[in-house]
């Protein structure tokens, strides 16, 4: 008499059990800019943080410095060539995984904010606010001077950290990456090229192979190129 009850209970437990969580993403990391990377062949945007755009400059001791490039270099130190584990929090508008990523015991997202190389992206998460406050109090990285919030920089308005918002910047003419005439009119001259190895690389004017590069797409900014999945050409 006990066997049918046991079978029925087992069946009920099976039906009520929660579905398995999505498996974490594992792979060798490669940094893009300060808040994006590739894990294996998968593009990942670090969840809950926002780093300066690669071409963005900040001010420190009255001098401009390449804070965007510095953020990218810091992320490269943390992830490039290393085994990275990312837990997906969803996807963004560019199809990238929004990930909480670790290398060993190091929380990559938190490390970028705590080091002052990125800010907490409060619009989406408050998980890294304490790390930002620590960086700000110790004047680490971005907080050693003044800078535009990355989101404001992308939108074309100026809002320095701790300062006030100024008038919107003049934006370039908008055109899709396949609208060649529009891109030319807007002086969008960053070339996106897909090479024989399947790598998506962009070249900016002045780079060694710029004139010889035949573009598949043209972009108005490096941020546009990276958002489309391209990485900056390496100059040796």
The per-residue pLDDT for 187 is 59
Q: How many whole angstroms separate alpha carbon 120 and alpha carbon 124?
A: 9
CA distances from 99 to 13, 67, 88, 132 (A): 32, 23, 5, 18
Residue 145, Cβ neighbours under 10 Å: how many? Answer: 18
> Hunting for tokens 């837990």 — which residue is that?
87
Are 220 and 207 in contact, with CB atoms under 8 Å apart?
Answer: no
Q: How many whole angstroms separate alpha carbon 41 and alpha carbon 64?
A: 35
**Torsion sign across C-alpha atoms 176, 182, 186, 192:** positive
Domains of the chain are: 25-155 (2.40.50.90), 180-232 (no CATH)
pTM: 0.62
The per-residue pLDDT for 22 is 72
- Per run of 10 residues, the mean pLDDT along the chain (length 236 residues) is 44 38 87 92 94 91 91 94 95 89 97 96 92 95 93 66 40 39 58 79 83 80 79 78
Length of the chain: 236
């Amino acid at each position: 008499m006990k066997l049918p009850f046991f079978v029925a209970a087992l069946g009920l437990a099976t039906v009520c059990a929660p579905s398995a969580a999505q498996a974490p993403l594992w792979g060798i990391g490669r940094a893009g800019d300060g808040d994006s990377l590739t894990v294996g062949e998968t593009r990942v945007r670090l969840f809950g943080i926002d780093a300066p755009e690669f071409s963005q400059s900040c001010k420190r001791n009255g001098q401009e410095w390449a804070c965007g490039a510095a953020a990218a270099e810091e992320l490269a130190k943390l992830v490039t060539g290393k085994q990275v584990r990312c837990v997906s929090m969803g996807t963004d508008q560019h199809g990238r995984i929004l990930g909480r990523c670790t290398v060993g015991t190091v929380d990559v997202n938190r490390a970028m904010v705590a080091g002052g190389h990125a800010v907490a992206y409060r619009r989406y998460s408050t998980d890294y606010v304490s790390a930002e406050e620590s960086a700000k109090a110790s004047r680490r990285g971005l907080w050693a001077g003044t800078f535009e919030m990355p989101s404001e920089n992308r939108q074309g308005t100026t809002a320095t950290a701790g300062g006030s918002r100024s008038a919107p910047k003049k934006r370039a003419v908008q055109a899709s990456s396949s609208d060649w005439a529009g891109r030319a009119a807007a002086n969008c001259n960053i070339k996106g090229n897909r090479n024989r190895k399947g790598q998506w690389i962009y070249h900016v004017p002045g780079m060694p192979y710029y004139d010889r590069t035949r573009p598949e797409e043209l972009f108005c900014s490096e941020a546009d190129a990276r958002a489309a999945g391209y990485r900056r050409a390496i100059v040796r």
